[in-house]
């Protein structure tokens, strides 16, 4: 039996496994690609062989462990980024184990490598006053200002991801009775989000200014092409800076498109929307993902604290009534 070489396995993994079988998103493919560019370059430096000359045996558990330590300590990646690198490597070696059983034990050692625990930071979000200040920042007397105002209105009401927003086409916006926006989220899952009357009015005004065919981007550049992710982040930062003049609390916050998504979730939570509905609204795979907003919401915790009453019974120290329990208690 002929065993495939490492270069052949890597090419098969990206072309057959990711692109054809899994139909992975462009973002996933780009993330995995960057991981393997870094890994193969690191392994090449460690072994003294060119990437095309590397063998599967060269990428053992020790090499992968050293690589993960390198990206975290030398390249300054966070523990979360390090875990994403490991996830890409695990996916590849699961593919290798299925296609080349001779490497089963080799792959199992890498697949058993644990992810690194990390501190989960509280999510950043904007309150209602900050959201209103941001919406008022664009100069709506210009074409760009009207577009940016429509973008910010759409994001803050729907909580769309940056990738979902920039990929919207004109036909994805449905106006009239039952107005909603259609998008394709993570895992190629399509969802529809209803629009409030105020949002619908902003979008109808934008469509009159926008024009164009149904297949064209809903929020294009001045040249008519699709807005890039960098351009979206830039316009959010630019309008946040302008809004901070009337709302000083924005000065201390680093606002990004994802922070606006968090703001939508917190707004829904403050209005008593159920956690499962918020998960459907945002397109979360699991309801557990939505729990980060509950942890971040101090007002909910304050309401819970207000409902607590002072105990009437005086506290007493537990004293074991058994010698064995007393021994365990003394440890």
Residue among 221, 277, 228 at smallest CA distance from 257: 228
Q: Is 189 a catalytic residue?
A: no
Q: Is 293 a catalytic residue?
A: yes
The catalytically annotated residue of 32, 106, 210, 293 is: 293
Q: How far is residue 281's CA from residue 290's CA, in Å, rounded to a whole number?
A: 10
Count of residues in the chain = 331
Q: Is 258 a catalytic residue?
A: yes
The catalytically annotated residue of 182, 186, 226, 237 is: 186
Residue among 123, 128, 154, 125 at smallest CA distance from 235: 154
Produce one character per residue of 83-94: b if its CB has 16 or more CB atoms within 10 Å, e if not.
Answer: bbbbebbbbbbe
The catalytically annotated residue of 82, 85, 106, 261 is: 261
Residue among 107, 114, 108, 94 at smallest CA distance from 13: 94
Torsion of CA 89, 90, 94, 95, to 10 degrees: -20
Q: Is 284 a catalytic residue?
A: yes
The catalytically annotated residue of 70, 170, 270, 284 is: 284
Residue among 47, 26, 23, 20 at smallest CA distance from 6: 47
* Strands of the chain, DSSP E: 173-174, 180-184, 190-194
Q: Is 118 a catalytic residue?
A: no
The catalytically annotated residue of 180, 242, 253, 258 is: 258
The catalytically annotated residue of 106, 149, 161, 262 is: 161
**Active site residues per annotation:** 161, 186, 258, 261, 284, 293
């Amino acid at each position: 039996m002929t065993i495939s070489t490492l270069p052949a396995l890597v090419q098969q993994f990206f072309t057959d496994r990711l692109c054809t079988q899994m139909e992975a998103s462009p973002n996933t493919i780009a993330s995995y690609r960057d991981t393997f560019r870094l890994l193969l370059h690191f392994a090449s430096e460690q072994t003294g062989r060119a990437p095309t000359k590397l063998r599967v045996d060269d990428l053992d558990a020790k090499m992968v462990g050293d690589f993960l330590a390198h990206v975290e300590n030398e390249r300054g990646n966070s523990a979360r980024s390090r875990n994403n690198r490991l996830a890409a490597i695990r996916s590849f070696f699961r593919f290798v184990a299925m296609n080349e059983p001779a490497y089963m034990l080799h792959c199992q050692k890498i697949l058993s490598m644990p992810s690194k625990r990390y501190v989960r930071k509280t999510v950043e979000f904007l309150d209602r006053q900050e959201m209103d200040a941001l919406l008022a920042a664009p100069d709506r007397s210009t074409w760009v200002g009207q577009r940016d105002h429509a973008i910010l209105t759409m994001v803050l009401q729907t909580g769309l991801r940056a990738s979902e927003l920039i990929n919207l086409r004109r036909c994805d916006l449905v106006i009239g009775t039952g107005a909603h926006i259609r998008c394709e989220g993570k895992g190629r899952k399509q969802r529809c989000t209803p629009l409030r009357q105020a949002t619908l009015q902003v979008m109808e005004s934008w469509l009159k200014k926008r024009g164009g065919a149904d297949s064209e981007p809903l929020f294009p550049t001045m040249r008519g092409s699709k807005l890039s992710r960098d351009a979206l982040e830039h316009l959010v930062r630019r309008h946040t800076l302008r809004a901070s003049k009337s709302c000083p609390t924005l000065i201390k916050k680093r606002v990004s498109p994802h922070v606006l998504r968090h703001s939508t979730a917190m707004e829904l939570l403050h209005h008593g929307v159920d956690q499962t509905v918020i998960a459907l609204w945002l397109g979360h795979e699991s309801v557990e993902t939505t729990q980060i907003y509950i942890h971040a919401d101090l007002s909910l915790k304050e309401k819970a604290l207000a409902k607590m009453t002072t105990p009437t019974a005086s506290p007493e120290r537990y004293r074991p009534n058994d010698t064995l329990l007393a021994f365990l208690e003394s440890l």
